[in-house]
Amino acid sequence: MRASVLAFAVALTTAVAVPASAHDHEKRFPMPAAVFQEHVDGRVARARARMEAAIVEFKLTDEQAKAARAHFDAVIAAVQVEVEKAVADGTVTFEEAKAVRAVARELGPRHDHPRGEGA
């Protein structure tokens, strides 16, 4: 049960990933660091809201909810480390954005969470 709760929490973090596909998104870079940080902060806020809604929807116990929130916070901390590296020089390149996305995806969806495959 604990593994599925953690997998569920990890699945919710995928919303934090910065869009970095090679077509239209590449045209938006280089991007000012402040704008990139705003995008990431917005995604984190939306992901946190979805996580809280899912905790209620799946009727997680207090212990499960605490574990999900702790895991979410750990994932966000890892993403923020990469964001800090990306914004250090005041401009975010496409490659730096892809590095942020890779960290978020590395901690992303698993196929054994309560919502099913890739949800």
> Looking at residue 25, what is its pLDDT?
76
In whole angstroms, what is the distance from residue 38 CA to residue 95 CA? 18
> Looking at residue 8, what is its pLDDT?
54
**Within a 10 A sphere around the Cβ of 32, how many other Cβ atoms?**
12
> Looking at residue 84, what is its pLDDT?
97
> Looking at residue 111, what is its pLDDT?
47
- 100, burial (CB in 10 Å: exposed 0-12, middle 13-18, buried 19+): buried
Angle between helices 62-87 and 94-106 (to 10 degrees): 160
Are 93 and 29 in contact by the 8 Å Cβ rule? The answer is yes
Are 10 and 75 in contact by the 8 Å Cβ rule? The answer is yes
Record the tokens describing residue 86, joined without a space: 């990306």
Helix spans in 13-106 (H) = 33-57, 62-87, 94-106
Q: Which residues of the chain have pLDDT under 70?
A: 1-23, 106-119
> Looking at residue 119, what is its pLDDT?
45
> Looking at residue 24, what is its pLDDT?
78
